[in-house]
Amino acid sequence: MKSHILSKWAGFVIVGGLVLAACAAPETQIVRETQIVRETQVVRETQVVRETQVVRETIEVVVTPTPEPAAELTKVPISLGFRPTVLYAPLYVAAANGYFAEEGLELEWEYGNAEDIMALLASGDRPILAVGGGADVLLAQAQGIPVVYFYQWHARDNYAVFALADKGISTPADLVGKTVGVPFLAGGNYIGFQAMLWAEGIKEADINVQAIGYTQSAAVSAGTVDAAVGVLYNEPKALIAAGHEVSVIETADYQPLVSSGWAVNQQFLSDHPEVVRGFANAFTRGLAFTIEDPWEAFKIALNYVPEASGEQEASRLMALRSGIQCCDGGRLGYSDPAIWEQMQEFLLSTGWLTEPLELDQTFTNEFIGDTEVYPATPTPVP
């Protein structure tokens, strides 16, 4: 609480000392004398008969200013993936630490599957959503959905083919003749897997690809499949945490794709660019915090995902730390136009797209500003 030196004649308590000075004055004369005390002017008027005393006063008043009414926050409905996860720690940190509020925003998020949340974005009901990758945006635009990618969360896409070490699978060529599980024959996992095969000139027909739902870790552990496709910092790390030796092939080592990030309804972006910029600013601060101090970010995330504590804590923390490693590589939020070009070429070559799209209408780096470079050495996790 700050103290302010004020002068006032009545209604306050004198806390300074009193200094007296005497001088002669004619009877019935009004004497006015001014003294400067700590840059404060005190004026005192005294009417006396024979003499006038001038009192020097220092008055200290503790002032509590009347708070201004809080500015009303703009509510922003957003969509996330199908369930809460500590991997959303940068978002949770930005919300908990008030970064969105400082931008004048109040987020209202819901979880759902990819098809549902993309439909909500198209309608404008939830104009911002987390997407698994830039390929999702290209495919959505090809279907007439007005979506624009505006923030790349991970600097590198994070899909991986993983197997138990004793399977002897360490390169894409080792997959020929093997059974590989994917969640579905669509979506980011499958497209990342196909991109790797495309880059290496391997025909998918030479591999027994099976849709197994989100059972990749269990299927690999049980030997139901020889290998599976998942997210680098998720399913493989779960097997490692369970004590298995695991070999991992990162698809981005062969064909990088634009990774997970944030997309927005095109009309909303046109009408409310300041909201999109504020969202990007706040999320950047949350992401930088998470990179610098993953342990503290993890603890904040547990307030939103309490089921990640207890027996799940070690594996979930490992997943978060691995996810942070996928963020290492450049300006926060930036997506590389050259990768967009390569990704579109792949999607055209494999039939996912039938004609090229205008990429300058598909993504933008306009809203990331002069963001920080990723810290080279994050704070160690205890």
Per residue in 251-293, pLDDT (tens digit) is 999 999 999 899 999 999 999 999 999 999 999 999 989 888 8
C-beta of residue 282 within 8 angstroms of C-beta of residue 151? no
**Burial annotation 169-190 (CB, 10 A radius, 16+ → b, else e):** beebebbeebbbbbbeeebbbb
Using CB atoms within 10 A of its CB, is residue 201 exposed (0-12), middle (13-18) or buried (19+)? exposed
Using CB atoms within 10 A of its CB, is residue 377 exposed (0-12), middle (13-18) or buried (19+)? exposed
Structural tokens at position 215: 């059972």
Percent of the chain at pLDDT above 70? 74
C-alpha–C-alpha distance, residues 146 and 124, integer Å: 10
In CATH, which superfamily holds the domain spanning 75-156+257-361? Answer: Periplasmic binding protein-like II (3.40.190.10)
Calculate mean pLDDT across residues 65-93: 81
C-alpha–C-alpha distance, residues 90 and 165, integer Å: 33
C-beta of residue 348 within 8 angstroms of C-beta of residue 340? no
pLDDT of 69 over the 90 cut: no
Number of residues in the chain: 382
Q: Do domains 75-156+257-361 and 159-253 have the same CATH topology?
A: yes
Percent of the chain at pLDDT above 90? 55
The predicted pLDDT at position 17 comes to 35
Radius of gyration of the chain (CA): 32
The predicted pLDDT at position 82 comes to 74
The predicted pLDDT at position 373 comes to 46
Calculate mean pLDDT across residues 69-86: 83
CB atoms under 10 Å from CB of 3, counted, come to 9
The predicted pLDDT at position 120 comes to 86
Q: In this structure, which amino acid lies at residue 318?
A: M
* CATH of region 159-253, choose from 3.40.640.10, 3.40.50.720, 3.90.180.10, 3.40.190.10: 3.40.190.10
- For the chain, the domains span 3-62, 75-156+257-361, 159-253
Range with the lowest mean pLDDT among 49-58, 148-157, 173-182? 49-58
Structural tokens at position 24: 């002669």
The predicted pLDDT at position 132 comes to 85
Long-range contacts at 217-224 (CB < 8 A, ≥ 24 apart): 219/181, 220/162, 220/163, 220/164, 220/181, 221/164, 224/181
- The answer to whether the predicted template modeling score (pTM) of the entire model surpasses 0.85 is no
Structural tokens at position 299: 């603890």
Span 193-249, pLDDT tens digits: 999 999 999 999 999 999 999 999 999 999 999 999 998 878 998 898 889 999 999
